[in-house]
Each structure stands twice: as structure tokens, then as C-alpha cells.
Structure 1
Amino acid sequence: MTALPDWMRPPRPEGWFAEDLDRLAEAPRHTELIDGALVFMMSPQRSWHGRLVTALAVSLADQVPAGVEVEREMTIRLDERNRPEPDLLVTSAPYDPDRTWYAPETVLLVVEVVSPESAHRDRTVKLRKYAEAGIRHYWRFEEESGDPVVHAYELDGPTRSYAPSGIHRQKLLTGAPFEIELDLHGLVPGRR
């Protein structure tokens, strides 16, 4: 076994902290921090995943109200030991070309598209962490016979946990966090 590169060694005995991600130029793209541990996207993404995220970003960007932005593959600094990177986020924070992360209080919606390697984190770990951080809306996209299915959640403020707000097939129509209408079947190329 070869030795670990120096950049993979935690800078302190307690592990990694949120600000450390900005100093890891050698780290693979899509590196996130979960409970003080670096998580890398090691397996290649499927075309279905990439095209769905792209189509969804475009569709949401066409529908956001003024002062709201759609971002792809940016981290959210949930606390000093957690900086997950969702597939998409919708934020009220103004555009800043030098930004590397968002604060949870500016995030209106987080979207994760489940991949085999991210399934556990997307369905359990991130679901809990985003809710505890106070992010009001969470959508988890799953694949069902080639089509996207959205599991939507809304934050129950007093419990700081998510309540399911619907499972959407074919079409998603909602008024929260703003008016959104999505043709889910049309988001996947070749399935239109």
C-alpha cells in the first residue's frame, strides 16, 4: 500500500474543520466534510445523474423570483465540522464570484440526486443534518424505471426535523419555497 499524500492527513488530532476545505487545493473535486471527515466522490457519475442535475438547474433558474439564485455543487457550512455539497441549492444570498460556501440561513432549498455511492448519506445523514441546520426544504431525487421521482420534505421548525410533504412522479407543482412547476419526465434526456 502506498503512503497517503500529505494533504489527506488531518491538520489536527480532532480531524478537519469547515474552513480547512478552502485550503485543500489538491483534494478531488466534490470533496465534502461530514462530521469532521473528508468524503470524496470516487466513482464516476452516471449520465442520468449529470443530465438531470443540469436540466433541473436550468428549470429552477427560469422560475426563481428576483433575488434568488440557483447554485450547483457548492458546499453549505452547516457548522464547524460539516460542509456537505448538495447537487443543487437555491439561495437568497447575493452572487459573489469568490464564494466557496453558503450559510444555511440563506438556503431555501437543497436538492440531492441519489447515486449508488451517496444513497445512505442522501437518505439519512444529510436529511438529518440539513434539518438540524434549519434549511426549510429538501428534495431527494431517486430513479424509478429511468424516471426521476422526488421525495420532498419541509422543515418542522419546533422539532428541527423534516416532515414528508409529498412524493412526486411525472410532475411537481408546489408553492414552497416559491411557485415551482416541473415536468419530471421531461428532465431526463431521451425520456421526453
Structure 2
Amino acid sequence: MSTVTAEQYDGWTEEQCADVEIVGGVVVARPSRSARHNRIARLVANALDDAGGADWNADCGFDLRLRDVPLDNRCPDVVVYRADTVEEMPARPEHVLLVVEVVSPGSETTDRLVKPDQYAKAGIPFYWRVEQAAGRVAVVHTCLLDEASRVYRAGEVFTGLVKAAVPFPVEVDLTDLP
């Protein structure tokens, strides 16, 4: 199995990069996302973008370069990053404050175990995981990085209505999703 380098990936077209992530230099297909998944990600991103003020941007689904060798290139559902780095893509962990993953069928293990471990080792201060199941209210698990161990510690858990104080005050209403 051949691996992809950062230089090779950076030369790919937008279409080639769509719906893939690179883990340890290996191309991994991202599971397809439902309309509900995409709506949750957009609602969370919009709320975080508004709450972040002039210093922080929040966007959905773009490349986050965790490591160049071997290449680890993830595409979180939502990324909160320093506004003054908007032109620096792919985003780098040192510019990122928070990543959010919306768990879907097919992404459970990756979003609950693999990605948080990678994000923590990269030094990203906050991680949120949104658990969503058809017919149920979304549950948001917030995690904070323990700098010494580079492991996330459980923070607050919100069901439906998120009223988080960190990384900055933000409110997201996920109670009335279809």
C-alpha cells in the first residue's frame, strides 16, 4: 500500500480531496453524512462563529493538518480557528481552539476514540462530540485538554440546549431537530 505525502496531497484538486482524510499517509474515505448531521454541524458552527467575535472563526468541513510526516490530515465537522489565519490552509493545530465532531452511523469509533486522541496529541485545547440519533435530542459532550498528559478530560454535557462558558460563552439550540 502506497502512502500519500503532504506535498502530494497539497497538489490534489478539490475534488480529489473531497470526502477523504489522510491517516498515517493512508487515504481513508469519510462516511456519507445525513442532512441532519450537516444541519447540526451548521447550527453549531454558526453559533460558535457568532460567539467567537472578531478573534475566532468557526467553519464546517475543511482540512486540518495534524502532522506532516506521516501525513495526518483530518476534516472535522466544525473547526474554531484564529481569525487572522483564515488564509492559511490547511489549518494547523496551533491556530485551532476547538474541533467538533458529529457522530453518525459508521463514524462512532473514529469520533469517540481515534479523532479525540489525535486532536489531543496535536494540542487542540477543546473537543466537542455531538451524539445524534434519529428521533432523539442531540447530546453534546465537551472536553478540555489536559496539557500535561495531552488527553481530553470530560467537561460539561448538554442535552438539546448548549449553554457553554468555555472556550467562550456560546448558546446552541439543538432541541427541535427533525
Does the TM-score normalized on the shorter chain lie above 0.5? yes
Q: Distance in 1 between matches of 2:27 and 2:80?
A: 24
Q: CA shift at 1:117, angstroms? A: 2.0
Q: Is it true that 1:74 corresponds to 2:62 in the alignment? A: yes
CA contact (8 A) 1:142 1:148 kept: yes
User: Which range moved further: 125-134 or 70-79?
Assistant: 70-79
CA contact (8 A) 1:69 1:95 kept: no
Q: CA shift at 1:44, angstroms? A: 3.2
Q: Distance in 1 between matches of 2:73 and 2:152?
A: 19
Q: Aligned residues, how many? A: 174
TM-score when normalising by structure 2? 0.88
Unaligned stretches of 5+ residues in structure 2: none
CA contact (8 A) 1:33 1:39 kept: yes
Q: CA shift at 1:28, angstroms? A: 5.2
Q: CA shift at 1:17, angstroms? A: 2.4
CA contact (8 A) 1:155 1:162 kept: yes
Q: Is it true that 1:114 corresponds to 2:103 in the alignment? A: yes
User: Which range moved further: 120-129 or 173-182?
Assistant: 173-182
Unaligned stretches of 5+ residues in structure 1: 1-8
1:135-185 per-residue CA deviation (whole Å, 9 max, x = no partner) reads 000001111443211111100000010000022102222221111122221
1:148 to 115, 128, 138: 138
Q: CA shift at 1:95, angstroms? A: 5.2
Match of 2:165 in 1: 175
State the one-letter code of the partner of 2:50: D
State the one-letter code of the partner of 2:164: T
Larger Rg: 1
Superposed CA RMSD in Å reads 1.9
Matches within 5 A, 1:1-192: 10=2, 15-25=3-13, 27=16, 29-41=18-30, 43-80=31-68, 81-94=71-84, 96-97=86-87, 99-144=88-133, 145-186=135-176, 188=177, 190=178
Q: CA shift at 1:73, angstroms? A: 0.9
Q: Distance in 1 between matches of 2:8 and 2:118?
A: 19
Runs of 4+ in 1 over 4 A off after TM superposition: none
State the one-letter code of the partner of 1:19: E
State the one-letter code of the partner of 2:114: V
The DSSP-based 3-state class of the residue aligned with 2:66 is coil
Q: Distance in 2 between matches of 1:48 and 1:177?
A: 25
State the one-letter code of the partner of 1:77: R
1:22-79 per-residue CA deviation (whole Å, 9 max, x = no partner) reads 22225251221112211112x5321110111122222222211212111211111111
Structure 1 residues 129 and 44: alpha-carbon distance in aligned structure 2, compared to 1, 3 A threshold:
closer
State the one-letter code of the partner of 1:124: L
CA contact (8 A) 1:136 1:155 kept: yes
Q: CA shift at 1:123, angstroms? A: 0.8
Larger strand proportion, structure 1 or 2? 2
Q: Distance in 2 between matches of 1:82 and 1:95?
A: 20
Q: Distance in 2 between matches of 1:152 and 1:18?
A: 31
